[in-house]
Amino acid sequence: MKNTLKRYTLGHLAFITLALSSGLQASEVNLYTTREPGLIQPLLNDFTQSTGVKVNTVFVKEGLVERVKVEGRRSPADILMTVDFGNLIDLVENDLSQKVNSKVLDASIPPTLRSANGHWYALSMRARAVYASKDRTHITAINYEDLADPKWKGKLCIRSGAHPYNTALIAAYIAHHGEAKAEQWLRDVKANLARSASGGDRDVARDILGNICDLGIANTYYVGTMRNGDDRQKSWSNAIHVVLPTFKNGGTHVNVTGAVLAKYSPNRKEAVQLLEFLASTRGQAIYAQSGYEYPVNVSAQIDPMIASFGPLKIDNLRLNDIAKYRKAASRLVEKVQFDH
């Protein structure tokens, strides 16, 4: 354990030491997050102004599960926040969460976007969308299944199939159609690629502008970051329009950011209070505007740019049910050598 702790920065160790030696004030809550703190700071500032509860934020870029395991019962963490529902489920499966009994959270967050036993909650959504060339395509609707159509041969761009965004989409495809059909779909999608599966979601828009591909699979929120980025990224976003695909027997696949209540939370009351604020209409509106994501609370206002993509019909599968096929999805990516 000592060897593992040596890898932490002195700042992190000082934070833990303070928590252990003197105890944290009841008016504080400690958030471990894999999200860039700047993306959520507007929410945390508003929470503190509204409640007087200070939020101590620790950014954990990698190894969140390992870190909290090492800290064990001595961990000062109250809330563990991360991106991708698979990561949320990993926290639960590693026994790092505890159940939350909150009528506020249950009323604010749909059942498909939280665990049935109260161990994790989604706090924002991003749709796995299609970016389409404004100049070379005129599609207004498409199914995920249609991305395998040979008419798109040499016209499709996507990031690595092994990336969690795509692993989750493939897992959803398995949940809808079974593993055999998902394998054939993945082979056909690969045959339609204009370049190898690589880069990031913004690179999809870049390559559409560069006439490398006509369609690409990417998350909705990147459009907001591009339109508010430098001139180069703005030109990428101006080259595309966004289509929200659906499964033929379902809706649009979404992934989430979310959080769990840490198993050994020393400030449980304040932690639940923060979770409830993040799921509230006010908190969700700030979330949506600061990160260009869809709110999970249907009463919250959607950012106008995201709303311009059209109505979002969320797929009817529970995220827990999709997560069961994550390993199978990863195996298929390797089996068909999707990235090669």
DSSP class per residue in 43-64: HHHHHHHHH--EEEEEE--S-H
The total of other beta-carbon atoms located within 10 Å of residue 45's CB is 12
Name 231's Cβ contacts closer than 8 Å, sequence gap at least 6: none
Q: Comparing C-alpha atoms, which of 56, 50, 105 is closest to residue 258?
A: 105
- DSSP secondary structure code for residue 337 in this structure: T
For residue 73, count CB atoms less than 10 angstroms from its CB and return exposed for 0-12, middle for 13-18, buried for 19 or more: exposed
Tell me if 221 is assigned to a ligand binding site.
yes
Tokens of 96: 């790092």
**Phi, psi angles (nearest 5°) of residue 227:** -70, -20
Instruction: Please calculate the CA angle 141-145-149 and round it to the nearest 5 degrees.
Output: 90
Give the three-class secondary structure for 250. Answer: coil
Q: Annotated binding site, which residues?
A: 221-222
Q: Annotated binding site for Fe cation, which residues?
A: 221-222
